[in-house]
Amino acid sequence: MAMSMSEFDHRYNMLIERFASEPEPAFESAEQQRLVWGRAWGCNSDVGRLRVVLMHRPGAELDILRDLPLIPELGAYGDPRSGAYWRGETIPPLAEQQAQHDALAAALREEGVEVVYLKRAAPGRHKAVYTRDSCIAVKGGAIVTRMGPRIRRGEEAPVTETLAALGCPILRTVHGTGLMEGGSFAFIRPDVAVVGVSSRVNEEGARQVEEVLAAQGTRLIRVQIPGYRLHIDGAFVMVHHDVAIVNPSTLPFVFMEELKRLGVRMIPVSHEDPSWTVNCLAVAPGRVLMSDRVSARTQDALDAAGVSVRLVPYDKVCLGGGGIHCSTSPLSRD
Q: Which amino acid is at 105?
A: A
Asked if the model's pLDDT at residue 2 lies above 70, the reply is no
Count Cβ atoms within 10 A of the Cβ of residue 273 and give its class: 0-12 exposed, 13-18 middle, 19 or more buried: buried
Q: Please give the DSSP secondary-structure letter assigned to residue 132.
A: G
Residues 6+ apart with CB under 8 A from 7: none
Band (141; pLDDT cuts 50, 70, 90): very high
193-230 confidence digits (pLDDT tens): 999 999 999 999 999 999 999 999 999 999 999 878 88
pLDDT at site 10: 81
User: CA-to-CA distance for 188 and 191, rounded, in angstroms?
Assistant: 8
pLDDT at site 236: 97
pLDDT at site 109: 98
Span 253-270, mean pLDDT?
Answer: 96
The SS3 assignment for 222 reads: strand
* All domains of the chain in start order, with CATH: 30-333 (3.75.10.10)
Torsion of CA 297, 298, 299, 304, to 10 degrees: 90
User: CA-to-CA distance for 6 and 258, rounded, in angstroms?
Assistant: 62
Asked if the model's pLDDT at residue 169 lies above 90, the reply is yes
pLDDT at site 20: 87
pLDDT at site 19: 86
Asked if the model's pLDDT at residue 3 lies above 90, the reply is no
With a pLDDT cut of 90, the percent of the chain lying above it is 87
Span 63-67, mean pLDDT?
Answer: 93
> 242: part of which helix (H) or strand (E)?
none
Mean pLDDT of the residues in the chain: 95
pLDDT at site 15: 78
pLDDT at site 271: 87
123-140 confidence digits (pLDDT tens): 999 999 999 999 999 999
pLDDT at site 230: 83
Band (162; pLDDT cuts 50, 70, 90): very high
The SS3 assignment for 206 reads: helix
Give the chain's largest Cα–Cα span.
Answer: 91
pLDDT at site 229: 82
pLDDT at site 1: 56
Angle at 149 between CA 147 and CA 154, to 5 degrees: 50
Band (88; pLDDT cuts 50, 70, 90): confident
The SS3 assignment for 182 reads: helix
pLDDT at site 93: 96
Angle at 186 between CA 292 and CA 228, to 5 degrees: 75
CA 133 → CA 125, 249, 260, distances in Å? Answer: 13, 23, 27
pLDDT at site 159: 98
296-328 confidence digits (pLDDT tens): 999 999 999 999 999 999 999 999 999 999 999
- Residue 186 CA from chain centroid, whole number: 8
- In the beta sheet, which residues pair with residue 256? none
Sign of the dihedral through C-alpha 196, 200, 204, 205: negative
Band (4; pLDDT cuts 50, 70, 90): confident
